Amino acid sequence: MQQKIAFGDSIARLGAPLAWLAVAALLIAGCRPAGDDLVTTRLFVMATVVDLSLPQSSIEQEPDLIGKIEAELRQIERDYYAWGDGELAALNLALTGFQAFEASSDLVSLLQRSQFIASVTGGAFDPSVGALVELWGFHSSEQSDAEPPEDDEIAMVLERMGSITSLVVSPINNTVSPIVDFIPGEDRPVERVFTLDLGGIAKGAAVDRIVERLEAQAVTPALINAGGDLRVIGEPAGRSWRIGIQAPREDGMLGTIELRHGEAAFTSGDYERYFEHDGDRLHHILDPRNGLPVGHTQAITVLAADGTTADAAATALFVAGPAEWRQMAEALGVDAALRVDASGQIEMTSAMRDRFRPSTQAGSDIIAAAD
């Protein structure tokens, strides 16, 4: 496979650890007929490495194609980063000041989708966690002191946190407004700080946006791989898209899955961004209900028909935990999901079991392959 490498300027922004690259190693299996050339172009954007594998002929037909995709990804990176100067940052500012905000239709639909997922998951997935993400220092690549916040700081943030479910999002005029509560007996509103953080869903939305563009131009087959979170279009002639699921605590793979046309595979893992403190791994996926990094799960991989669902569902099921994750997957319409618990044991839904081929060494750790 030919590879063209393009360096962007924004990798330093969130400073993704290189481990992100290994979330799901990609294998393209089968024999390779002549003339079927996929060219992989690497971009550093949205704090990760995005590999676009497109047919040589599509790039020749539209030499601007990669440039347009890159520009779109950079725009999404800017717009959907809560601590920058784009649209989401402006929205948070307006909401905290009790103001309505006129948003782009793309942001409005992503907020609506997020509200829906927040309500279906009982708040396990909730972009309102931004203020907590900031308190723990996971919003920035500079992990300032690698110390956990104090309990009373967490309690204070939880108390003042404005929730995505307390917003009125109107697709008719594209406005987003806070519902303002008043302090009983006083003529003043309850102050809320809105730091909506779309980090748990935006990568999926970005991948979907690129897939839409490519499909509109009949570009097929193609693979968009954003740091191991990926979606495919079509199938390479005589071959298949086979992805490997990274083992959370060691080099190597738990096993492989073959993806079908249009499918997305996204993983949320506690190894993607973390620091260690007193022997605990304190990582970037937080339970919005108690403000703490989730301790019962190492990784969740989800297959879905689109990237937005797969991304948000992986984050939600990560938070859900042993008793709830299967039920929550069902409520989200997700059939195929795999969970690695805190002790490294693997369980999966029956739809995932039908698709997953364990690597030999992981086979012995799979304890609950059936529903």
Size of the site for ligand AMP (CB under 6 A): 19
CB of 121 to ligand AMP, least distance (A): 8
- Residues 349, 326: contact at Cβ < 8 Å? yes
Q: Which stretch binds ligand AMP (CB under 6 A): 26-34, 52-60, 119-127, 342-350?
A: 119-127
Judging by DSSP bridges, how do beta strands 356-358 and 253-259 pair with one another?
Answer: antiparallel
Cβ nearer to ligand AMP, comparing 87 with 197 = 197
Instruction: Measure the CA dihedral 153/155/157/158, to 10°.
Output: 160
Q: Which of 50, 65, 91, 133 binds ligand AMP (CB under 6 A)?
A: 133
Q: Collapsing DSSP states into helix, strand and coil, what is residue 243?
A: strand
- Residues 325, 317: contact at Cβ < 8 Å? yes
CB of 73 to ligand AMP, least distance (A): 16
Looking at residue 350, its amino acid is S
Residue 197 binding Mg ion, by CB under 5 A = no
Cα–Cα dist 15/349, whole Å: 33
Q: Which of 125, 136, 241, 325 binds ligand AMP (CB under 6 A)?
A: 125
Rg (alpha carbons) of the chain, rounded to whole number: 21
Residue 200 binding Mg ion, by CB under 5 A = yes
Residue 268 binding ligand AMP, by CB under 6 A = yes
In the complex, residue closest to ligand AMP by CB: 199
Cβ nearer to ligand AMP, comparing 58 with 267 = 267
Cβ nearer to ligand AMP, comparing 224 with 285 = 285
The packing angle between helices 307-320 and 202-216, to 10°, is 160
CB of 138 to ligand AMP, least distance (A): 5
Residue 126 binding ligand AMP, by CB under 6 A = yes
Q: Which of residues 315-354 bind Mg ion (CB under 5 A)?
A: 315
Residue 197 binding ligand AMP, by CB under 6 A = yes
Q: Which stretch binds ligand AMP (CB under 6 A): 51-59, 123-131, 325-333, 336-344?
A: 123-131
Looking at residue 316, its amino acid is A
Q: Which of 44, 138, 271, 356 binds ligand AMP (CB under 6 A)?
A: 138
Cβ nearer to ligand AMP, comparing 41 with 195 = 195
Q: Which of 347, 256, 244, 232 is nearest to 22 (CA)?
A: 244
User: Residues in the chain, how many?
Assistant: 371
Token digits of residue 26: 């990609």
Looking at residue 115, its amino acid is Q
Could you give the string, one character per residue 151-190, with x where binding to ligand AMP holds by CB under 6 A and - elsewhere?
A: ----------------------------------------
Cα–Cα dist 305/329, whole Å: 14
Question: Which distant-in-sequence residues (6+ apart) come within 8 Å of 43 by Cβ?
Answer: 6, 8, 49, 50, 51, 52, 69, 70, 73
Cβ nearer to Mg ion, comparing 233 with 304 = 304
Token digits of residue 311: 């991304």
CB of 234 to ligand AMP, least distance (A): 25
CB of 117 to Mg ion, least distance (A): 10
Which does residue 355 bind out of Mg ion, ligand AMP, none, counting CB within 5 to 8 angstroms by kind?
none
DSSP 257-285: EEEPTT-EEEEEETTSSEEEETTEEEES-
Residue 340 binding ligand AMP, by CB under 6 A = no
Q: Which of residues 271-330 bind ligand AMP (CB under 6 A)?
A: 272, 284-286, 288, 311, 314-315, 319
Which does residue 125 bind out of Mg ion, ligand AMP, none, counting CB within 5 to 8 angstroms by kind?
ligand AMP
CB of 172 to ligand AMP, least distance (A): 26
Order of strands, sheet of 175-178, starting from the edge strand that comes earlier in the sequence: 101-102, 175-178, 167-170
Token digits of residue 188: 């003043």
Q: Helix H segments across 50-104?
A: 56-61, 65-79, 87-96
Residues that bind ligand AMP (CB under 6 A): 125-127, 129, 133, 138, 197, 199-200, 268, 272, 284-286, 288, 311, 314-315, 319
